[in-house]
Each structure stands twice: as C-alpha cells, then as structure tokens.
C-alpha cells in the first residue's frame, strides 16, 4: 500500500485567539469567549478559553458564573461569541492552508486535513519543512498560531496535532507509531468519551499500551463489531480513511436558546415547531424544495448532537417538515442524558421549484 503523509491542522483556542487578534490589548490576560443565553445576566456557558484561563480551570462548557468565580483574582476578559467574525478569519486561513495540499478536507472553522503525499514525495523530512512554511505563512498573514500533526493517516494526525499544543508540530513516522501511542491515555482516541474511558479504567486499562492487551473478540463483545473494531485498530494506529475533498455544506438552519434547560418532549416540541415554520418560509421565499431534514441539540455542557433523515421526495410543506422533525426529536430523546440548552432545525439537499432558474440570491 502507498505510504501516505497526512497533516491535521488545528487552530489553538480559536475563538479566543481571534479576539486577541482583534484587540491586542487583551493578549496576556485570561480570555473567555461566552455564549450568553437569552435569560439575561451571566446566564450561559464558555465556548472556549485561552491557555491563561485554562490554567485556572476555565474550559469549554462550564457556566459563565463559575468561570468568573475561578478568575475573580485574575486579570480576565469575558467576551460574547462573534461567529461571523470567526468564520471570516477561518475563511482567510483555509485559503492559505489549501495551497499546501494535494487533497484538502475542510472539517470546521478551526481544523482541516491535508494529504501532502505528492507534494512531499512521501518524505517526512520534506513534510516537516512544508508544515513549518504553512505555520509561518498563517502567523505572518493572520497572526494566528496552529498546531500540526504529521503522520501516515488521519487518525494519528488528529492525535499528533493535539500532542504539543499550543503552536505545536509533531511528526510520527510509520516506524514510530507504537512508541508514540503506547504511553498516551486512551481518551486521546477519537470516539472514546468519558463513559468508555471510565469503563476501561475500572478494568485497570489506562493507556493505549494497556488497551492493546485486549483482543478483538472481547472488544466486539463489549462494544459490538463496529466500535470494537474501531478501538482495536485505533490503538494500533490503523486508519484506512482517505483525505477527501469536502464541499461546503449548503443548508438553511435556525437555532434558539431555550428559556430553560430541558429534555421534556412537550417543551422541546413547542420550540422546535416554531423553527419549522420559519425555515419553511425561507425555503418558499427562495423557491427551494428540500430532501434532507435534521435537528440539533446543544447540550448544557455545549456538546452538540445531531440527527437527520432524507425524505423520499423533495418538498417545502410545513406539515411534513413538522412531522419529520417531531419523529427525529422523539428518537433523539430516547438516548438523551443531558439537558438541552439550545435546539435547532436544518434543511438541505435542495432542488429548485419549477420555473426558478436564478439561484444567486441563495448563495
């Protein structure tokens, strides 16, 4: 099999770093970017914090009030999230990053994968030079720092980019994979959350080296074949998923902050049906029919959860939209443990209503 070289580029404390660029006077202070709720005052949660703030226990998902308490003795700044500005900074950064790739895969505002196998002639030494050039150009052009993982696949590169944050550059060659992974905590494997980690800790499995002692059959019994296989392969640094060009997702969406955190079906249904009416009107105004319908939860710790469905025929009927959304809502709540803080609806996979030819107003 061809030896690949993959970068994972990950911006450090991205939202807070964007704020430091906008106002250089706050650099050096504890900076926390907040999602304030509609309930007024300091109600809301931290979206991200810089490393100065993290040193005092301020991290994504904790309540703003708690964060302010942790930083009351510090020189700190609490700012409302400005996602339009962060998207603008991200777009400029991604334009730079894409130039360095054979294949560029956009993941989100603050991360991307690059296959650089041809550009580097499959040489990790060349890859390190290329990554340093990429980091330098982003810093010089935008004053942003990022961390880069350089490895033979996407899984390892994601782990490696987080290894020496902030402003890190970590290379793991094929012959170094076992040595690199062995001492790391099992939580670094994407897909292993707190519940799975706690389960393994009870078995005295703390590191990836410990995890490798469990055979594939036992992992399949514990987690099923798909998850068991993922854990088995990940602990050995095996990942066959290619870096693939990812087109921007074209969609309409609406999201609101609930008046109270809840997972009560009736309360969530009342809120989500209002969003359905608004979204369907947008689709009609833009002469669009949609096939894909999705819902999103933002939980009380700011983690997100999505669920979607493809309907048989494109449409823009609000009754049909509400019906599908309510079905998704009921299914999602079966496994929902945390209270929901924000709720959203998304429609995509568009086609034009007959007679509509000009879609420039949509883009």
Q: Considering only 57-61, 115-119, 286-290, 354-358, which range has the smallest mean pLDDT? A: 354-358
pLDDT at 185 over 70: yes
The separation between CA 349 and the C-alpha centre of its own chain, rounded to angstroms, equals 22
Q: Are the CB atoms for 80 and 98 separated by under 8 Å?
A: no
Closest to 257 measured CA to CA, from 306, 307, 318, 299: 299
Query: What pLDDT was estimated at residue 357?
Result: 33
Q: Considering only 38-52, 53-67, 211-225, 226-240, which range has the smallest mean pLDDT? A: 38-52
Percent of the chain whose predicted confidence (pLDDT) is above 70: 94
Question: Does 110 count as an annotated binding residue?
Answer: yes
Q: Is 330 a catalytic residue?
A: no
| pTM, two decimal places | 0.71
pLDDT at 362 over 50: no
**Domains of the chain and CATH, by start:** 6-12+85-178 (3.30.70.270), 15-83 (3.40.1170.60), 182-234 (1.10.150.20), 251-352 (3.30.1490.100)
Q: Are the CB atoms for 16 and 32 separated by under 8 Å?
A: yes
Among candidate residues 111, 213, 285, 354, the one labeled active-site is 111
Question: Does 10 count as an annotated binding residue?
Answer: yes
Mean pLDDT of 57-86: 92
Angle of helix 83-98 versus helix 124-142 axis, rounded to 10: 140
Query: What pLDDT was estimated at residue 250?
Result: 66
The rounded mean pLDDT for the chain is 90
Asked if omega into 317 is within 30° of 0 (cis), the reply is: no
């Amino acid at each position: 099999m061809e030896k690949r070289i993959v970068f994972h580029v990950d911006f450090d404390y991205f939202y807070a770093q964007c704020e430091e660029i906008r106002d250089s006077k706050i650099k050096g202070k504890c900076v926390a970017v907040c999602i304030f709720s509609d309930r007024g005052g300091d109600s809301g949660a931290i979206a991200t914090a810089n490393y100065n703030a993290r040193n005092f226990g301020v991290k994504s998902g904790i309540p703003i009030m708690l964060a302010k308490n942790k930083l009351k003795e510090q020189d700190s700044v609490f700012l409302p999230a400005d996602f339009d500005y962060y998207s603008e900074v991200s777009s400029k950064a991604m334009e730079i990053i894409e130039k360095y790739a054979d294949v560029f895969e956009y993941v989100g505002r603050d991360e991307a994968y690059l296959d650089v196998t041809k550009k580097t002639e499959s040489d990790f030494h060349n890859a390190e030079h290329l990554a340093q050039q990429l980091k330098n150009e982003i810093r010089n052009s935008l004053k942003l720092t990022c961390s880069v993982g350089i490895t033979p696949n996407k899984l390892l590169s994601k782990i490696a980019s987080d290894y020496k944050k902030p402003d890190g550059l970590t290379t793991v060659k094929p012959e170094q994979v076992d040595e690199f992974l062995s001492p790391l905590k099992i939580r670094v494997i994407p897909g292993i959350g707190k519940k799975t980690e706690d389960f393994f800790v009870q078995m005295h499995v703390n590191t990836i080296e410990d995890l490798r002692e469990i055979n594939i059959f036992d992992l399949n019994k514990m987690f099923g074949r798909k998850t068991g296989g993922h854990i088995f392969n990940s602990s050995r640094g095996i990942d066959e998923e290619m870096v693939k060009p990812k087109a921007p997702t074209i969609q309409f969406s609406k999201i609101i902050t609930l008046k109270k955190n809840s997972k009560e079906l009736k309360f969530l249904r009342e809120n989500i049906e209002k969003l359905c009416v608004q979204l369907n009107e947008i689709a009609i105004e833009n002469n669009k029919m949609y096939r894909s319908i999705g819902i999103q939860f933002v939980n009380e710790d700011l983690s997100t959860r999505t669920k979607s469905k493809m309907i048989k025929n494109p449409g823009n009927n609000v009754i049909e939209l509400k019906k599908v959304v309510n079905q998704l809502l009921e299914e999602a709540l079966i496994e929902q443990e945390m209270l929901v803080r924000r709720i959203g609806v998304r429609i995509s996979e568009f086609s034009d209503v007959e007679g509509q030819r000009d879609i420039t107003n949509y883009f």
